[in-house]
Amino acid sequence: MYAIVDIAGKQYRVGEKEKIYVPRLDAEVGKKVKFGDVLLVNKDGSVSVGTPMVKGASVDAKVLDHVQGDKVVVFKKKRRKGYRVKNGHRQPYTQVEITKIKA
């Protein structure tokens, strides 16, 4: 059984007991969160597609950790002008474990 769920404007294919990284959520570590924007549910080959959301479907998850992604280096340069700027960025993520998919 799996579902396609919309979390913070991005779509994820999730199954039970899976661990995924999503954009930073405002939830404490160990707390449970519920995602109600379920776009598709596949239960034993029976597919339910929402218009746009599946009625009555939700995905329950548990927050495991708050982490940062790999560093992305942003380097700007204009040749022959002596202009060089180097910046870095690390995107914040939340690791969640999918506990239950309600169809």
Closest CA to 49 of 99, 3, 101: 3
Sign, Cα dihedral of 18, 21, 22, 28:
positive
The total number of residues shown for the chain amounts to 103
* Average confidence score pLDDT of the chain: 96
Predicted local confidence at residue 30, as pLDDT = 96
Question: pTM for this one?
Answer: 0.84
Cis peptide bond prior to 52, omega within 30° of 0: yes
pLDDT tens digit string along 48-85? Answer: 999 999 999 999 999 999 999 999 999 999 999 999 99
Q: Which helix (H) or strand (E) holds 35?
A: strand 32-35
Q: Are 52 and 40 a contacting pair, CB within 8 Å?
A: no
Give the chain's domain count.
1
Segment 10-38 shows an average pLDDT of: 96
For residue 62, the enclosing domain spans 2-102
